């Protein structure tokens, strides 16, 4: 019997949120190409689009930014719990715990269908929780949110204590927009399954965070980072990459399970980094390494059509802003929270409990063998 595990190719829901077309290299958020949104819009604008179905007007956006600033601070009850956790606690486990506590102290278990205010709170508080635990783990005093900064700039500010360079805010914003939503992936499916039982928001989000924590789903671009670090400068790129291919080793950041042509997310980051290459040497190095790698892959693996994926350029973003590797997946998570919550809102609007079937392949008792 052919394997039916993994649900590959199985349609589990209809959605208006995103189109992921791997054959043609297309990613669409509610009628807009994601790469165009990443290049020209703010994090706040794209979140509003996914939640509400349209981009906000200037007046609505300004009102939303003010409202966002009011939801960033961690309540005292949650701080007390975070302070009890060991400083060396792994960040994704901290986020799962914090989300559960936040659901309890804000009485999310009583909310059905979902209350948008709770979605806003969970989304906007997550960067503060990450920064709070990170600074504790480093023996540093946590920094309160700055209401004058936008979502991404404020995240970097809370991590470092310094107002970030605008070029770094711009590239991180683009990456986080491109990471917001990606169809019925494992973490999104996990959240929708839990919510389909009419469970609460915190339980659904804990399921999503738990799925993201697994390295097969939320694995960070750290291997690409090691590759760029090992290459070091443009002059060494061809020699290093050729040696890897001669040895039969994989070039990290090339090829993708879904995208069988150019990854549109990588295209957007490449375009942005090309514009900003003079402002950060890591952008210039990444662009050059991709060019050389593609040429060598065509030479050593003709016909394989291995294209650069988003993790390649994500690594360059993370290196440029000096984000510690322990924060790669949590940072991905704070962005994907927007997509998760948009899916959860969609699930409540047309809810039906998920109940797939399984195929029994075990032994039958003698009395039932004739019924097999």
From CA 243, how far away is CA 330, in angstroms rounded? 33
111 is catalytic: no
Torsion-angle region of 9 (φ positive above 0: left; ψ -120 to 50: alpha; else: beta): left
- Look at residues 26, 6, 5, 27 and name the one whose alpha carbon lies nearest to residue 18: 27
From CA 244, how far away is CA 221, in angstroms rounded? 18
CB of 308 closer than 8 Å to CB of 266: yes
- Look at residues 278, 161, 285 and name the one whose alpha carbon lies nearest to residue 234: 285
- Look at residues 335, 251, 338, 253 and name the one whose alpha carbon lies nearest to residue 297: 251
Of the candidates 256, 290, 343, 346, the residue annotated as catalytic is: 256
From CA 83, how far away is CA 234, in angstroms rounded? 45
Helix (H, G, I), strand (E, B) or coil at 287: helix
311 is catalytic: yes
Q: Partners of 29 in the beta sheet?
A: 18, 32
Of the candidates 44, 290, 311, 346, the residue annotated as catalytic is: 311
From CA 253, how far away is CA 310, in angstroms rounded? 7
From CA 271, how far away is CA 63, in angstroms rounded? 31
Beta strands across the sheet bearing 26-29: 18-21, 26-29, 32-33
Which residues are known to be catalytic? Answer: 256, 311
């Amino acid at each position: 019997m052919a394997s039916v595990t993994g649900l590959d190719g199985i349609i589990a829901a209809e959605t208006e949120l995103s189109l992921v077309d791997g054959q043609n290299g297309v990613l669409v958020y509610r009628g807009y190409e994601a790469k165009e949104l990443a290049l020209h819009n703010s994090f706040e604008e794209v979140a509003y689009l996914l939640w509400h179905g349209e981009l906000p007007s200037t007046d609505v956006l300004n009102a939303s930014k003010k409202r966002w600033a009011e939801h960033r601070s961690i309540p005292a009850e949650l701080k007390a719990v975070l302070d009890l956790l060991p400083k060396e606690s792994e960040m994704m486990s901290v986020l799962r715990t914090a989300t559960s506590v936040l659901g309890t102290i804000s009485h999310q278990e009583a909310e059905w269908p979902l209350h948008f205010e709770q979605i806003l709170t969970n989304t906007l508080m997550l960067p503060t929780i990450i920064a709070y635990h990170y600074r504790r783990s480093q023996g540093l005093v946590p920094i309160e949110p700055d209401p004058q900064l936008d979502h991404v700039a404020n995240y970097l500010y809370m991590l470092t204590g310094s107002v970030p360079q605008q070029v770094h805010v711009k590239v991180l914003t683009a990456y986080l927009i491109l990471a917001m939503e990606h169809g019925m992936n494992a973490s999104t499916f996990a959240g929708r399954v839990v919510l389909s039982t009419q469970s609460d928001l915190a339980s659904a989000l804990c399921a999503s965070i738990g799925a993201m924590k697994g390295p097969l789903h939320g694995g960070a671009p750290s291997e690409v980072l090691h590759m760029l670090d090992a290459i070091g400068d443009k002059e060494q790129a061809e020699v290093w990459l050729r040696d890897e291919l001669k040895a039969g080793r994989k070039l990290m950041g090339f090829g993708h399970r879904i995208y069988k042509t150019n990854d549109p997310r990588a295209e957007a980051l490449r375009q942005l980094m090309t514009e900003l290459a003079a402002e950060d040497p890591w952008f210039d190095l990444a662009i050059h390494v991709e060019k050389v790698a593609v040429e060598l892959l065509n030479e050593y693996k003709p016909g394989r059509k291995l294209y650069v994926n988003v993790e390649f350029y994500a690594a360059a973003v993370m290196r440029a802003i000096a984000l510690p590797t322990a924060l790669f997946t949590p940072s991905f998570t704070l962005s994907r929270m927007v997509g998760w919550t948009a899916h959860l809102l969609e699930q409540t609007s047309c809810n039906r409990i998920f109940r797939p079937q399984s195929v029994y392949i075990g032994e039958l008792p003698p009395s039932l063998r004739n019924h097999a």
